[in-house]
Amino acid sequence: MKINATSCLDAWKKTVKTILEKGYSFTDDEHRTCIELQNLIVTIDVPADFDAPIETLSRNSNWIYPNKEELNEALFWKERYLSYEYSYGNRIFNYKNVLNQLEEFIIPLLQKKPQSRRAIVVLYDPLADSKSSNKEIPSIISLYFRIIDNLLTLTVILRSSDFFIGWPANIYQSYKLLEFVSQKLNVPMGSIHTISHSAHVFEEYREDIEKVLQ
């Protein structure tokens, strides 16, 4: 299924509503009632309001949602961010303490070959993550940067995406990475696409979801 939107806020609300209406219900490993759509593609043509879903959750929820400063720090911090079971920053900017995937590969590659189809960042680490005992592994599996019609686009592959709680942080951080690479390349930003193998919401948040949708 594909969902197109002109803004992050519109994409978020439209997708959550679609999952509730068309998803199927099951009980997950933690005995939570989950409503899911598989392999859901969301395209945001103009992701300028990248922080709107976060701001909306902060105003309407009963819990403390991570603020933009914390999400930024976790994203760009090159060491493991101790507040989280895993963090994206060290996997992007200091993978295995060896490779800065953006500054040593993606940016030089697209500067030299703007039409390249090889500009991919991988966040899933089989050596660390492919263990049945792991309860927390990255939701974002990969990031694919591509210059199309002189605009830098980003496609984000998500293993599992809690669209009500998790996707707002994911789309904010994705936008910040697109912005970072765009500025380094001096290429304007284009669309963002997320492909979620499991796009879901939890039944326990239905009251909060309905408040946000209204």
> Where in the chain are the domains?
2-213
Mention every residue, 6+ apart, whose C-beta is less than 8 A from residue 212.
13, 16, 56, 57, 60, 164
pLDDT for 29 equals 86
Q: State the Cα torsion 153-141-78-168 to the nearest 10°.
A: 70
User: What is the identity of the amino acid at 166?
Assistant: G
84 to 19, 67, 174: CA distances (angstroms)? 27, 14, 18
pLDDT for 95 equals 92
User: Which of 162, 165, 152 has the alpha carbon at shortest distance from 192?
Assistant: 152
The percent of residues above 70 in pLDDT, for the chain, comes to: 95
φ and ψ at residue 189, rounded to 5 degrees: -80, 140
User: Which of 147, 68, 162, 140 has the alpha carbon at shortest distance from 115?
Assistant: 147
pTM of the full structure: 0.92
Arithmetic mean of pLDDT, 2-9 = 94
Structure confidence by residue, pLDDT tens digits, 33-90: 999 999 999 999 977 899 999 988 888 766 677 888 888 888 888 776 555 555 789 8
Which string of DSSP letters, residue by residue, matches 166-182?
THHHHHHHHHHHHHHHH
pLDDT for 140 equals 95
**What superfamily does domain 2-213 belong to in CATH?**
Thymidylate synthase/dCMP hydroxymethylase domain (3.30.572.10)
Structure confidence by residue, pLDDT tens digits, 77-136: 877 655 555 578 989 999 989 999 999 999 999 999 999 999 999 999 998 888 888 777
Give the tokens for residue 60: 């309407």
pLDDT for 86 equals 57
